Structure 1
Amino acid sequence: MKKYIIYSLVSISLMLAGCEKDNFDAPNAMLEGQVTYQGEPISVRSNSAEFQIWQDGYALDEFIPVFIAQDGTYSVSLFAGEYKLVRRGGDPWLPQLNDTIVVQVDGTTQVDIPVTPYINISNESFQVNGQTLSASFQIDQIVEDTNVQEVSIMLSRNILLDRNINDFNEVIELEDFEFGTSNSIDIEIPESLRGEGYLYVRVGARSSMANELIYTNAQQIDL
């Protein structure tokens, strides 16, 4: 009986100790903002691009990944304090691993993150004529010596839309392409999508220096 009581007391003590360890306070602050180039938001594939957030003074020197939504916005729950934000490589903009942004987070803190994309898409417009979608857009060279590796036009029934998530994706062969000039493309809307009433459309382009495409914002078009 004595052994049983001792074992029970030990078990209860361990359970209480475990509860104390698990009873951490939840993060009480929020860091949010958007990715920008020259003050304008940059659109990406949802949860493909990310930043890394570091905080000095902890034994486990690990970063917090911050994923970016397709419209270029981000948000992350943190404890109040000072953090360092790093723009990593592999995204459709120049990595700046040695150029960190120091952020003081307290309550809800708004910080827009400037980046330098390899290329950028601008002046996009879309028009539906019967079963044909006419798209016009301009691709600008931002980083010297980069080329355009791929251009796609994507359609979807849903606003969440990119190269991997879509109902239609057509890779465009651009003849006589030049940076900084308007490109006009006509594509036939697939028969399976013509009765939808409306669709969402995006243009994506990949630089020869990047693994990911940069996109226009998803726009709704009426059919």
Structure 2
Amino acid sequence: MSCFNACKKDNYAPPTNKFTGRVVYQGTPLGLKNNNGGTVYFELWQGGYGKSGAINVYFNQDGSFSDLLFNGTYKMVIPTSQGPFMSIENPETHTDTIPLVLTGDKTMDIEVMPYYMINNAKFIIGADSVVTASCSVKKIITDTNAKDIQFVALYVNRTDFVDDNNSFVSNTIAGGDISDMNNLSFTAKIPTNIANANIGVGKQNYFYARIGLKIVGLDDMLFSDVVKVSL
């Protein structure tokens, strides 16, 4: 159970066990959206302490997570509405529920099955302030659960928080316009003055870039790593 003010009110000492890890595919962390603390989460369920609801633990944009918990036995579940991926059957429970026993600090990776992976993402920025990016996309889920690509996009932002809501310039390729999944390329010009920021190429000589992939029917996008590009 994770609590702070509630623990004080109920005379419980606050939790001290640090539970950390990443959401991964074959050991590779998945890039996600981080909107004021994350948008994709998993649930931890534990009886006792007067708490009947789930503890929501949010993933950061690099796929990592961290929370403080009490010792005890938990059930970990990723809701089906969460993430650009599917949960994997746990060998112990034979469901998508993962058992978790905490007796101190613990680090673990959560293995999932993404619909796609963004590979070989590369970014360069030229003297003309144009960011050029390239990547390949691999379809991972190919059975009846497969989903189509809605679009793939390059995003550029002033800070290292980069996604479809945190960018000042972008370039999008619609899924139906992708002719070669092994060779996607994008360009985006950084303006002289960025609207609502009063910062352009004359005031900042570095920016952050990322490639995002939107899957048809899913709210949560998949992203590449954030990369710093300098003029």
- Residue 176 of structure 1 and its aligned partner are, at CA, apart by 4.1
Q: Distance in 1 between matches of 2:151 and 2:124?
A: 22
Q: Give the residue type in structure 2 aligned to 1:133.
A: V
Q: How does 1:34-53 map to 2 (within 5 A)?
A: 34-46=22-34, 47-53=38-44
Q: Give the residue type in structure 2 aligned to 1:79.
A: F
Q: Distance in 2 between matches of 1:148 and 1:116?
A: 16
Q: How does 1:181-200 map to 2 (within 5 A)?
A: 181-192=182-193, 193-195=200-202, 196-200=204-208
- Residue 59 of structure 1 and its aligned partner are, at CA, apart by 5.9
Does the aligned pair in 1 maintain the 2:169–2:189 contact within 8 Å? Answer: no
**More deviation in 64-73 or 79-88?**
79-88
Q: Distance in 2 between matches of 1:81 and 1:159?
A: 36
Does the aligned pair in 2 maintain the 1:206–1:213 contact within 8 Å? Answer: yes
Q: Give the residue type in structure 2 aligned to 1:186.
A: T
Q: 1:66 to 1:21 in 2, by over 3 A?
A: closer
Q: How does 1:120-139 map to 2 (within 5 A)?
A: 120-130=117-127, 131-139=129-137
- Residue 213 of structure 1 and its aligned partner are, at CA, apart by 0.8
Number of residue pairs matched by the alignment? 203
Unpaired runs of at least 5, structure 1? 1-19
Alignment partner, residue 86 of structure 2: 94
Does the aligned pair in 2 maintain the 1:86–1:96 contact within 8 Å? Answer: no
Q: 1:153 to 1:82 in 2, by over 3 A?
A: same
Unpaired runs of at least 5, structure 2? 1-7, 90-94, 194-199
Q: Distance in 2 between matches of 1:186 and 1:164?
A: 19
Q: Give the residue type in structure 2 aligned to 1:41.
A: P
Q: How does 1:136-151 map to 2 (within 5 A)?
A: 136-144=134-142, 145-151=146-152
Q: Give the residue type in structure 2 aligned to 1:199.
A: F
Alignment partner, residue 15 of structure 1: none
Q: 1:221 to 1:59 in 2, by over 3 A?
A: same
Counterpart secondary structure, 2:99: strand
Q: 1:128 to 1:212 in 2, by over 3 A?
A: same
Return the index of the structure with the highest Cα Rg: 1
Give a deviation string over 1:150-205, Cα, whole Å, max 9, x none: 212111111112111222233234634333x1212222222223231100001000
Q: Distance in 2 between matches of 1:59 and 1:187?
A: 52
Counterpart secondary structure, 1:162: coil
Does the aligned pair in 2 maintain the 1:87–1:96 contact within 8 Å? Answer: no
Q: Distance in 2 between matches of 1:36 and 1:95?
A: 11
Alignment partner, residue 164 of structure 1: 165
Alignment partner, residue 207 of structure 1: 215
Give a deviation string over 1:28-68, Cα, whole Å, max 9, x none: 21111011011011110011100000114566431100011
Does the aligned pair in 2 maintain the 1:34–1:41 contact within 8 Å? Answer: yes
Counterpart secondary structure, 1:172: strand
Aligned partner (choices 29, 38, 42) of residue 17 of structure 2? 29
Counterpart secondary structure, 2:114: coil
Does the aligned pair in 2 maintain the 1:118–1:210 contact within 8 Å? Answer: no
Counterpart secondary structure, 1:115: strand
Q: Give the residue type in structure 1 aligned to 2:180.
A: E
